[in-house]
Amino acid sequence: MPKPRFKLVMKVQYFSLVFPSLLLFTVGLILPMILGVYYSLTSWDGYTKDFPFIGLGNFAKMLADPHTLDAWWFTIRFAFWNTLIQNLLALFFAVILDTGVKAKTFYRTVLFLPCLIAPIVAGFIWQHMYFDVLPGFNALLGTKVNFGLFGKSSTVLLGLLIVNNWQFVGYWMLIYLAALQSIPRELYESAFVDGASFRIQFLKITIPMLAPAFTICIVGITVGSLRVYDLLVSATTGGPGRASTSIIYHIYNTALNARQYGYGSALSISLIIVLLVIAVVQLGVLRRREVQL
């Protein structure tokens, strides 16, 4: 039975260790969030000392604002396709590199390199790729392929998906690769002895054992895609028109450029709620699936 004085000392120690992080977390995250909730109930323009209270007016406006709905629609499509394509490609490359393929390190490096570039730079690079570099192939091959994917509302999403997948497939591939390499080889050997084909081994051993990696990658890619902003700044500036304006880009434009800080705060609150709901649902479903598998 520890003495009361010892317990007190331990409590002080714990508190002194936790306090710096708690302070940073409170000042950096909790307070701004509380302020954000307060601003979202006002029509503050970001300049004045007055914060006119308008209740839930901003939230009602949000539901009727076609630009907000368009921004959400773009963001959801971007996140959906990114999550699907990036997971499939990352898993595909991880499985290939987990076999006895030659020059593994080289391929791994090549696939991983783009994720070291800042998304804003990737946007510039691909703007020039689509406009200057790739059309050069038309001249060489005598074809008339329109590579200007960023220049049309109908193709801008495709153009951005190519860039985002080019950039981040290597990163998620490493997570899958690490998970693949942690699967005990004995499982495959036993299955092989029992006559299981490669397909059966993949479906019955690899996929179930990768379940934790699926959770990490699916949640990570979804949340990252829902927050897309910097790539758009350099690649498309949200255009043509508003065809590639994500919800974060829309929040920035509304709150800061259009001087509707209150409305922008309401949009931010809605984004936080959506991100939380999606993450919780995904985590819940995937964790349950992990147990089942």
List interacting residues with other proteins (CB under 8 A).
46-48, 67, 127, 130-131, 146, 148, 150-153, 237-243, 252-254, 256-261
Question: Of 156 and 226, which CB lies nearer to other proteins in the complex structure?
Answer: 156
Question: Of 46 and 208, which CB lies nearer to other proteins in the complex structure?
Answer: 46
- The Cα–Cα gap between 213 and 222 comes to 14
In DSSP terms, 42 is beta-bridged to: 53
Q: How far is the CB of 66 from other proteins (least distance, A)?
A: 8
Closest listed residue to residue 226, CA positions, set 270, 163, 283: 270
Q: How far is the CB of 60 from other proteins (least distance, A)?
A: 15
Q: How far is the CB of 46 from other proteins (least distance, A)?
A: 4
Q: How far is the CB of 155 from other proteins (least distance, A)?
A: 10
Q: How far is the CB of 242 from other proteins (least distance, A)?
A: 5
Question: Of 38 and 131, which CB lies nearer to other proteins in the complex structure?
Answer: 131
CA angle, residues 269, 220, 233, in degrees to nearest 5: 65
